[in-house]
Amino acid sequence: MKKLIIGSLILILFGSVAMASSDTPSAPDPSLAAYGARPLGMGGAFVAVADDANAIFSNPAGLSTISEWSLTSMSTQLLQKVDYTLVGGTYRIGPGTLGIGYIGTSSTAGYKYNEYGTQESSSPIAYTSSLILISYGLDLSKAMDMGSEMGMLAVGATAKMISKGFSDIDDASASGMDLDLGLTFRPNDSPFSLGAAIKNLADGSSVTWKSGSKENLERSLKAGASAKLSGEGGLYKLVPGDLFGSIDIELRGDGKPMVFHVGSEYKPIKYLAIRLGVDQDPVSEGKTSTSLTAGVGVEYLGFNFDYAYRVNPDASELSNHYFSLSYAPEALNGTKDADKKEAKLTKENKETKKEKKSSKDDIYQLPEEYQNINLN
């Protein structure tokens, strides 16, 4: 409990940084809209989980838990008109893990007209944006030789480079850079973990248009906790398999209200994951939108296929489907290790039963010279 209190205080101090409002207009950040089918299936409650390549887009500190290279990808169509593509990869370098990600969006934005109101082209104007992320996650407790008594304290940072614009319009393009910071804390011998991430710390000029106008990518602070509710090392023995739960609190800039993300992931067998969640978005000052999410994941030989569905509460026809495909040799090795462990336990159980049977036979077996005695 003391470890959790200490970790919570660290996250509160971390989260108090730079959430002040700015006079510079805010612009949408593509990494806030979608960040992998697995996190989305859990309602977006992933900041304290962050244990796979999706950490590039949600909490870079989580990269520290990845010891081998991995790949992930996702595609969807937001609001049935914005094509959204995400790819990312991780690689262990030095004491930490490097992550590189890309998010691309494209959509139509009407037609170009001249000063007389005449349409100049039959081809629509296209709006595109590209976001490149370079992340690094480090186990701070190990790097600074802080000892293992407290647990694993990890930090991470993401440098972001964005470019966007409208086709066939002069000075209608922009570019810029921004920065994310992340933190996770995982106490030893505990089913709990804590996490926090601040996105878009640059203030005043993170994105500059060719026309000279400036804007900031929308700032976001997330803090959350996750727990293993059932299974080996979990809080309870509720169901067969492993059951995880997580909750995030999120603050955005511009006076938008605080929102919650709640999710769960259930693994009845090692190859299958079932997810449910509640995902809130801050629509405007004093108004939020609440969506239900669900998802499923299948893992085999290191490959992971994840699917998520997010209900649009205002228009069901605009509900979204998300598809992710990932690969992680670490997961494959973990599966092989689990298979070996299971085979070893099965062999040990058989040997134990054989020994017990042999011992039982020894107890009740009469000496040879007394076996033919007629007691009548």
Specify the amino acid at residue 195.
G
Residue with the bigger pLDDT between 285 and 48: it is: 48
360 found inside a domain: no
Q: Residue 30: what are its φ and ψ, rounded to 5°?
A: -55, -25
Percent of the chain with pLDDT over 70: 79
* Residue 56 CB neighbours (<10 A): 34
Report the C-alpha gap between 30 and 26 in whole angstroms.
13
**Residue 171 has which token pair?**
């000075």
Largest CA distance in the chain: 124
333 found inside a domain: no
**What are the tens digits of pLDDT across the range 329-368?**
865 554 444 444 444 555 555 555 555 555 445 444 545 5
- Mean pLDDT to the nearest integer, 150-156: 89
Report the C-alpha gap between 275 and 369 in whole angstroms.
68
**Residue 256 has which token pair?**
């938008």
326 touches 332 (CB < 8 A): no
319 found inside a domain: yes
What is the CATH number for 185? 2.40.160.60
349 found inside a domain: no
What is the residue range of 213's domain? 2-327
225 found inside a domain: yes
The tally of domains found in the chain comes to 1
**What are the tens digits of pLDDT across the range 38-94?**
999 999 999 999 999 999 999 999 999 998 899 999 999 988 889 999 999 999 999
Over its C-alpha atoms, the chain yields an Rg (Å, rounded) of 27
**What are the tens digits of pLDDT across the range 237-284?**
888 999 999 999 999 877 789 999 999 999 999 899 999 999 999 887
359 found inside a domain: no
Specify the amino acid at residue 166.
F
368 found inside a domain: no
- Mean pLDDT to the nearest integer, 296-306: 95
* Residue 176 CB neighbours (<10 A): 20
315 found inside a domain: yes
Which residue stretches of 112-187 are H helix?
A: 140-143
What is the per-residue burial (b if ≥16 Cβ within 10 Å, else e) of 344-366?
Answer: eeeeeeeeeeeeeeeeeeeeeee
Identify which of 260, 266, 199, 200 has the alpha carbon closest to the alpha carbon of residue 225.
260
